[in-house]
Amino acid sequence: MVRVYYYDNIPGDQRLPHDSGKPVSLSTLEEIGVSYWYVPVEGHESKIEQIAKEREYKNRDVINVTKEGLGELYESKIKMFFEEHLHEDEEIRYVLSGSGYFDVREQRSDAWIRVGVEPGDLLVLPAGIYHRFTLDETNAIRSMRLFKDEPKWIAHNRGVETDSNPYRVEYLRSIGVGA
């Protein structure tokens, strides 16, 4: 079962658990627009196809985030992934191997919620949600990325301009915050 909890905000290696000891329910994730499924990796094809069809995902690829896979870009990519940002598209990740953490902002408290992902976890972050990603101490994750259209990955780091991004505004409206 996926581990979801409030991030402790104690300085230190981002790849450590940073578990505050305060668990978060899957219903709390749903309230902020985050969807989660567990789909066993062995024999996952039909269930992933069903979800892709239902959610209109037309494209996919596989990303390997490892020191070997990213080479000299590894440290800069890990740092970039951990910057607080949003996307104008859903971010869909299905973990095939390895593990890591997605942190998502709980809008009402501005607290980080940490989601520890492992093989079989399928996480969908809505367009406009502030989030970040990091590996854990295993330093490796292999994930399928699904896309509604052509694959793209444009991060908009948090700031005054991003706070007024139409996708951010729509996200806030969708969870009942703002006008």
**60 vs 90: CA distance, rounded Å:** 13
Contact between 125 and 90 (Cβ < 8 Å): yes
**142 vs 84: CA distance, rounded Å:** 22
85 is in an annotated binding site: yes
Residue 166 has φ and ψ, to the nearest 5°, of: -55, -35
**15 vs 149: CA distance, rounded Å:** 31
Contact between 175 and 104 (Cβ < 8 Å): no
131 is in an annotated binding site: yes
Residue type, 27: S
Q: Going along the chain, which residue ranges are E strands?
A: 3-7, 19-23, 35-38, 59-66, 85-86, 91-98, 100-106, 111-117, 121-125, 131-135, 140-147, 156-157
91 is in an annotated binding site: yes
Which amino acids are annotated as binding site, given as ranges? Answer: 85, 87, 91, 131
Which amino acids are annotated as binding site for Ni(2+), given as ranges? Answer: 85, 87, 91, 131
Which amino acids are annotated as binding site for Fe(2+), given as ranges? Answer: 85, 87, 91, 131
